């Protein structure tokens, strides 16, 4: 699920401008899980509450349930790079 090559390059690119401190690295997984949870909740709400005839495309919330479960399995910042 996680493309380690892309993740490594993203983190290295970010840190070439601003280094993450140890507290940020220690909480990185929590932030990733929080982001996945936020999308899961908003997509779930839309999935359940948007009329079927609406002009917008209703997106499947399961994608973010899978992402949330993925991030729950990782233990440290090193797992992302």
Give CA 36 to chain center in angstroms: 4
Q: What separation in angstroms does the CA of 47 have from each of 2, 52, 54, 70? A: 25, 9, 11, 22
For the chain, the domain total comes to 1
Is there a domain that residue 31 lies in?
yes
Q: pTM of this prediction?
A: 0.83
Q: Which tens digit of pLDDT belongs to each residue from 17-73?
A: 999 999 999 999 999 999 999 999 999 999 999 998 999 889 999 999 999 999 999
Is there a domain that residue 15 lies in?
no
Is there a domain that residue 9 lies in?
no
Is there a domain that residue 56 lies in?
yes
């Amino acid at each position: 699920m996680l493309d380690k090559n892309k993740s490594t390059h993203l983190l290295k690119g970010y840190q070439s401008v601003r280094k993450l401190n140890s507290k940020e690295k220690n909480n990185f997984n929590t932030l990733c899980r929080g982001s996945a949870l936020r999308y899961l909740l908003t997509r779930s709400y839309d999935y359940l509450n948007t009329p079927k005839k609406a002009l917008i495309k209703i997106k499947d919330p399961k994608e973010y349930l899978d992402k949330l479960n993925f991030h729950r399995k990782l233990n440290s910042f090193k797992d992302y790079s």
